[in-house]
Amino acid sequence: MSPNQPSPPAGEVRRGQPPTLRDVAEAAGVHAATASRALNPSTRRLVSAETARRVMKAAKTLGYQPNPIARSLKTAKSSTIGLVIPDLTNPLFPPIVRGIENVLEAEGYSAWIVNTDNDPERERSRIDSLRSRQVEGLIVATARLDHPFLEKLHEQGVKMVLVNRRTENLAIPCVTADDATGIALAVRHLVDLGHTRIAHLAGPHSTSTGVVRARAFRHAVRDHGLEDDSRLIVECAHWNEADGAAATRELLDRATPFTAIVAGNDLIALGSYDVFAERGISCPEEISVVGFNDMPYLDKLRPPLTTVRVPHHDIGAEAARMLLDCIDDPTRHPRSLLLPVTMVVRASTAPLR
Amino acid sequence: MSPNQPSPPAGEVRRGQPPTLRDVAEAAGVHAATASRALNPSTRRLVSAETARRVMKAAKTLGYQPNPIARSLKTAKSSTIGLVIPDLTNPLFPPIVRGIENVLEAEGYSAWIVNTDNDPERERSRIDSLRSRQVEGLIVATARLDHPFLEKLHEQGVKMVLVNRRTENLAIPCVTADDATGIALAVRHLVDLGHTRIAHLAGPHSTSTGVVRARAFRHAVRDHGLEDDSRLIVECAHWNEADGAAATRELLDRATPFTAIVAGNDLIALGSYDVFAERGISCPEEISVVGFNDMPYLDKLRPPLTTVRVPHHDIGAEAARMLLDCIDDPTRHPRSLLLPVTMVVRASTAPLR
DNA sequence: TTGTACGCGTTATCAC
DNA sequence: GTGATAACGCGTACAA
């Protein structure tokens, strides 16, 4: 057992209630204002060392915990930020959340998490509710390229950092994976295996990620001297399995020959797997597939999915750090960060026969 | 476009700050106290209908949002609860979280989420921090059978509901899946397929879930007239793949013949898959496996995992409802809830050859 | 260096 | 039915 203060206050308490600053001040024989100064590291130098010692000792024995609500009311700061994501059950987001919280926790901040389910109306109302809770900033993972609501908030001076995606307005700082390089790696991997007819199941063009990856795909294909055939690119309506499956069916029905797929993300690749099962296509023997993100348990799939690993935890951590920087120094110039990705080769890709 | 009030207040605002109750009162030509009564549904009957109308109209045009921090300071209620989970990246928890939030949101409550990483010290400090944020209650998913810290909190009158697991102290309300029935279903499924030598990879005996499922396993085996061979039960140190794999290796190394495994949960089953790959064992031809929980994407595994489906979203929702009930009426008798489970038969189980 | 006085935005308790 | 006032717990000018 470590000699930490016990969870229930060891000292006296007033009326069974948690002790307040006044209780501490009284116990230390000083005024509440003095106690406040002594307890707050940034104002501690204003009181004598001896007084500070006495106050801190009294606080400790009383088990005093400052009331963050009262503090927030006074300072109009909440030590709180809002985290706006589409859906927590998408395995993409938990690692980002943990990355964010690791950084916030160290700075005494906490995050309110809200799910929008990609519903703009719901997004608006959840963000309004976050703002009424006095969040000091927002980390937003639901950005669309054309996103007037976010733009408006940004103009109003709401501090925010986008993760994973961005808007057309580059003035809003964001942290994303290096999507273009990731797609280039995927294409090169397939080319190295001998593939020349490579298809792309693109994410929605309303998202920066969808557009950037699709553009990077066309560039990469051309860079390898292959034909940039638009019949080999199908856009998925959403980043999920169902739309990945639909897009795969459309691709197959176009009857344009291809031997490999670069999927916009892992869930879209999973949709392809479903269609392969439907139609008796064997992967990787007939068609190779590369995903994107490296979500958990991909190595247990049939076949284990080759994919591009994105440092989700780091994306969250960097975004949180960036947001705290913006809060600390509002004059700070907005930066955007591109985090490096790596190929993870498993068994869904094979040499062209 | 729906005719909702726009996000930035349409009316006048004072000093560019969000409007306060006083601004509304002034705009409506009444005192702040009257405005408060008019705006609060539970006190609205104290003011004249005409006044109420005027105040609410003023609030709407000003875009007034009550400041929850000021309200909390006055009422000593935070409309906030704490949610204590081991690790958000475990796919078990996101659906529970969403179930909780669906219920809370409807009641104007929100949840602070903390991750303990199964570290008791961290759990203590995170819960302390939640309490200092004035949460009105706790939903705890990290309960161990012997859990003195939770017991102490409960004795101190901290309102809490356990999810997914419980402590030895049955006075603490909890919401769990009907584990015993789930295991019985799994064993009967295997028996129906002709298996008679069935092993169990048990979860940690420090958790109620581990103990209940292991006990249910022995009962189920005996109920079918099979031998209750303790050499066929191995305990995993944690509910994860690595320990599932370790337990599987130990089971195989014991050289006691068996043809089927009931895993404590899906992750443990995934650990078995890893060992099958290591040792060239084919599933389900040589060994059938049943998981527990039905976490996402199990249908994409090689082979798709047969498992017991647990209604995680409902578990969260019921727990939230129960906690809100406890908060509303502290005299309420604590109840515990057992939610029904179902078998999901996929391809990791096959008839005994 | 320390104490006094006040206000943050809201609600409860008095009067009227 | 409505208004005045105090108070929740804290931080901070200002005064001493």
Test mutation, B17, B69, B116, B240, chain A, max A CBs within 10 A: B69
Burial B39-60 (b: 16+ CB within 10 A, else e): beeeeeeebeeebbebbbebbe
pLDDT in tens, B283-301: 999 999 999 999 999 998 9
Strand nucleotide closest to residue B31 (CA to C1'):
D3
If asked whether residues B193 and B171 sit together in one domain, one would say no
Same domain, yes or no: A146 and A184: no
The amino acid that residue B130 corresponds to is: L
pLDDT tens digits for B36-66?
Answer: 999 999 899 999 999 999 999 999 999 888 9
Residues B299 and B320 reside in one and the same domain: no
Q: Tokens 């705009």 sit at which residue? A: B27
With a pLDDT cut of 90, the percent of chain B lying above it is 80
The pLDDT value recorded for residue A11 is 45
CB A76 within 8 A of CB A134: yes
Residue B123 at interface with chain A, using a CB cutoff of 8 Å: no
Does B69 contact A65 at a Cβ distance shorter than 8 Å? no
Q: Is the pTM of this model over 0.85?
A: yes
Same domain, B305 and B199: yes
From chain B, pick out residues whose CB is under 8 angstroms from the CB of A152.
Answer: 7-8
Choose among A319, A333, A324, A334: nearest CA to A176: A319
Within an 8 Å CB–CB cutoff, is residue B138 touching chain A? no
pLDDT band at B157; cut points 50, 70, 90: confident
Is residue B6 predicted with pLDDT exceeding 50?
Answer: no
Q: Is A31 inside any structural domain?
A: yes
**Is residue B158 located within the same domain as residue B272?**
no
**What CATH number does the domain containing A287 carry?**
3.40.50.2300
Q: Are strands B80-85 and B138-140 parallel, antiparallel or unpaired?
A: parallel
Which residues span the domain enclosing B194?
179-311
Report if residue B15 sits inside a domain: no
Report if residue A201 sits inside a domain: yes
Question: Which nucleotide lies closest to B77 by the C1' atom and the CA atom?
Answer: D8
What is the percent of chain A where pLDDT is above 70?
95
* Bases in strand C with any atom closer than 7 Å to a protein CB: 1-5, 7-13
pLDDT digits (tens, 9 = 90+) for B77-124: 889 999 999 999 999 999 999 999 999 998 889 999 999 999 999 999
Is the minimum distance from the CB of B73 to strand D below 7 Å? yes
Same domain, B324 and B305: no
Answer yes or no: do A115 and A157 share one domain: yes
DSSP reduced 3-state for B300:
helix
B202 forms beta bridges with B235
Nucleotides in D strand less than 7 A from protein CB: 1-5, 7-13
Residues A213 and A118 in one domain: no
Q: Is residue B92 part of a domain?
A: yes
Is residue A196 within a helix (H) or strand (E), and if so which, with residue range? none
Residue B14 beta carbon within 7 A of nucleic strand C: no
| Predicted local distance difference test score (pLDDT) of residue A75 | 87
Other beta carbons less than 10 A from residue B344's beta carbon: 16
**Given pLDDT bands bounded at 50, 70 and 90, which one contains residue A255?**
very high
Asked if residue A270 is part of any domain, the answer here is yes
CB contact under 8 Å between A73 and B78, yes or no, is: no
Q: What is the pLDDT of residue A16?
A: 63
Lowest-pLDDT range of A117-126, A184-193, B131-140: B131-140
Q: pLDDT band for A322, please (50, 70, 90 cuts).
A: very high
Q: Are residues B61 and B146 in the same domain?
A: no
Identity of the residue in A65, A94, A121 whose CB atom sits nearest the CB atom of B89: A94
B71 CB less than 7 Å from any atom of strand C: yes
In this structure, the answer to whether residues A265 and A328 fall within a common structural domain is no
Per DSSP bridges, beta strands B342-344 and B307-309 are antiparallel
B17 touches chain A (CB under 8 A): no
**Which residues, at least 6 apart from B351, have a Cβ–Cβ distance to it below 8 Å?**
B193, B194
The predicted pLDDT at position B4 comes to: 33
For A88, the closest of B72, B94, B149 (CB atoms) is B94
Q: Is the CB of B46 under 7 A from strand D?
A: yes
User: Do B196 and B285 fall within a single domain?
Assistant: yes
Instruction: Tell me which protein residue sits closest to nucleotide D3, measuring alpha carbon to C1'.
Output: B31
User: If residue B347 lies in a helix (H) or strand (E), which one and from where to where?
Assistant: none
Residues A316, B136: Cα–Cα separation, whole Å: 29
Per the model's pLDDT, the better-predicted residue between B297 and B243 turns out to be B243
- Whether residue A4 is predicted with pLDDT greater than 70 in this model: the reply is no
Q: Tens digit of pLDDT for each residue in A293-316?
A: 999 999 989 899 999 999 999 999
A143 touches strand C (CB under 7 A): no
Rounded CA separation A144/A205 (Å): 9
- Beta strand segments in chain A, E: 80-85, 110-115, 138-140, 160-163, 174-177, 198-202, 233-235, 260-263, 288-290, 307-309, 336-339, 342-344
Is the C-beta of residue B50 closer than 7 Å to nucleic acid chain D?
Answer: yes
Nearest of B93, B194, B73, B47 to residue B133 by alpha carbon: B73
Contact criterion met (CB below 8 Å) for A308 and A344 = yes
> Is the model more confident about B181 or about B14?
B181
| pLDDT score of A3 | 31
Domain endpoint, select from A31, A46, A66 = A66
Residue A2 falls within a domain, yes or no?
no
- Average of per-residue pLDDT values in chain B: 92
Domain count, chain A: 3
Q: Is the pLDDT of residue A80 over 70?
A: yes
Let me know if residue B162 belongs to a domain: yes
Mean of pLDDT values over A318-331? 91
Percent residues over pLDDT 90 in chain A: 80
pLDDT at residue B56, rounded to an integer: 94
Nearest to B295 by CA among B320, B270, B314, B275: B270
Q: Both B104 and B217 in a single domain?
A: no
